[in-house]
Amino acid sequence: MNCSTAWLALQTLEGGIEFTLTPADQADRLAAQLSADLREWGLQSAIQTLHQPLEDGTVALVARLQREFQQNHMPGFNSLNLCTSLGPINQDDHANEAWALEREIWVALLGSPHRFAFRDLEALKSHVRVRRNMALAARLTALAFKTEAAERPEADWHYEEDPGFILKPGRPLIQALIAATQPEATGKLYDFSCYRATEYVILLGIAQELQAHHPALLAELQQLNERHAVRSGQFHEVFLVEYGSMEAPLPARFYVPGDRLWFRNPDERSADVTGYEGSWVMYMGGGLFSNFWKRDAPFTLESKAIEIFHWKDGVYTDAQGELQMNETVVERLVAQTQADPEARARVLERMMRMRDPKGVYAEGGCIDTTREYPKNVSREHCELVLPAF
């Protein structure tokens, strides 16, 4: 592809990575540094860049995958096969596992239909490390299967009605989060929801980055968690950025390792069972989504869709008139559907549609239009502002 053709191709595409407000005389140097940094993953020749002049005399430097590389590895923005497409690694080598995960994150960001904006290269590299931390933590996370329970390691946490589970003074945040979510640390599985577990995984990924590159902010985060938990809607507002929308949905097979996302239950009756309105998961890379209840059996996009489809068959009313879920029935029907190619195709045709709007149960499937990722926490361009309690 010649320079003019590459420029036109980049100009007509919205996605990839953008460095905002780059001094014009530094843009070429930044593009060269990005290419040099990508050499570690063998991606230095996989990108093309474009300078977009801005009114204030700076430029926006946009980087995307070369068209041929995109077509070979992310056709139609499908990022689920990147790990296989980019080549194998030695799975017994933990460092190699982290390397391959970072490579997958870089390619997914550069090939994204959504444009990810960063102030400089250090902010981007911090973002990649946080995503890597989160994906690795999600692979190690396991919970006890009690969707309404709430339990944490007593050595690290105590519960108060308004603040929620808060750190005991002097107990390090990183170790406390690991103890609550990774059973190897304590020898025990703890009871809490998959939604809360995603918050812990995200918080752990951020804290590990801060420990290495922004320790002053880690100290503030430690103090905050000794006073008050940040949960639910407030957690989303404080820590996360949502991308995609109902009006401009992300492609159904586009995910970046470290994304948090929701699969919706499109069946109105079973969605009234507590914990079965949908399913919050982390995308762990390699085409796999977290299964905190059965860590060694992570979901593919298809297996998750089939499980949610059969929630409608597992719902029942107990003796007290409350809706409950029979997981044994769900597991049996999932196995039957997986073993029947025609039935599997029918279920996936129904479920792999974009979800209906909130409150609507019509022809939509389980696929959400958005994903979430952490705000930038790099030292020079930190977007995270912690709340006061």
Four-point Cα dihedral 334, 337, 343, 345, nearest 10: 70
Q: Which helix (H) or strand (E) holds 226?
A: helix 215-227
- Confidence (pLDDT) at 90: 65
CB 259 within 8 A of CB 373: yes
Chain segment 267-298, per-residue pLDDT in tens: 999 999 988 999 999 999 999 999 999 999 99
**Stretch 338-362: mean pLDDT, rounded?**
97
- Strands of the chain, DSSP E: 16-23, 47-53, 58-65, 115-118, 157-160, 164-167, 240-243, 260-264, 278-285, 288-289, 315-317, 323-325, 371-374
In this structure, the answer to whether residues 257 and 324 fall within a common structural domain is yes
Beta-bridge partners for 364: none
Any domain includes 118: no
Question: DSSP code of 43?
Answer: -
pLDDT digits (tens, 9 = 90+) for 15-74: 999 999 888 889 999 999 999 999 999 999 999 999 988 888 889 999 999 999 999 999
- The CA-atom distances, in angstroms, between 389 and each of 79, 223, 224, 386 are 40, 11, 8, 10
Same domain, 332 and 308: yes
In this structure, the answer to whether residues 195 and 256 fall within a common structural domain is no
pLDDT class of 94 with cuts at 50, 70, 90: low
Residue 318, in any domain of the structure:
yes
- Return the pLDDT at 112: 98
pLDDT tens sequence across 325-345: 999 999 999 999 999 999 999
Question: What pTM was computed for the model?
Answer: 0.93
Same domain, 149 and 87: no
What distance in Å separates the CA atoms of residue 282 and residue 197, rounded to the nearest whole number?
10
Contact 304, 262 (CB under 8 A): no
Does one domain contain both 227 and 295? Answer: no
Please, which residues bridge with residue 52 across strands? 60
CA–CA dist 96, 102 (Å, integer): 10
Helix axes 215-227, 173-181, angle to 10 degrees: 60
Could you tell me if 260 and 323 lie in one domain?
A: yes
Q: What is the pLDDT of residue 193?
A: 85
Mean pLDDT of 366-383: 97
User: What pLDDT score was predicted for residue 88?
Assistant: 76
Shared domain for 239 and 381, answered yes or no, is: yes
- pLDDT at 207 (0 to 100): 98
Domain enclosing residue 279, as ranges: 251-369
pLDDT for 7 beyond 60: no
- In a domain, residue 134? The reply is no
For residues 277 and 358, give the distance between their C-alpha atoms in angstroms, rounded to a whole number.
11
Within a domain: 116: no
Asked whether the predicted pLDDT for residue 3 surpasses 80, the reply is: no
> In Å, how far are 124, 249, 306 from 120, measured between CA atoms?
7, 27, 42
Residue 130 lies in a domain: no
What amino acid is encoded at 110 in this protein?
A: L
Tokens representing 11?
């100009």
Q: Is residue 282 part of a domain?
A: yes
217 and 297 housed in the same domain: no
Based on the fold, state whether residues 43 and 104 are members of the same structural domain. Answer: yes
Residues 13 and 152 both lie in one domain = no
Sorted by sequence, the CB contacts under 8 Å of residue 342 that are 6+ apart come out as: none
Least confident residue range of 84-93, 171-180, 257-266, 279-288:
84-93
pLDDT over threshold 60, residue 87: yes
Task: Dig out the tokens for 125 from the structure.
Answer: 């590299």
Q: In what order do the strands lie in the sheet with 47-53?
A: 47-53, 58-65, 16-23, 115-118
Q: Does residue 75 fall inside a structural domain?
A: yes
**Residue 133 is assigned to a structural domain of this protein:** no
Given this model, what pLDDT does residue 21 score? Answer: 87
Confidence of residue 11 (pLDDT cuts 50, 70, 90): very low
pLDDT at 8: 45
What H or E segment, with its residue span, contains residue 220? helix 215-227
Total domains present in the chain:
3
Q: What is the pLDDT of residue 133?
A: 98
Where does a domain end: 88, 111, 134? 111
Residue at which a domain ends, from 56, 87, 111? 111
pLDDT for res 73: 97
Mean pLDDT of 242-265: 97
Structure tokens given for 147: 């969707």
Q: Do 235 and 313 reside in the same domain of the chain?
A: no
360 in the same domain as 257: yes
pLDDT at 150: 79
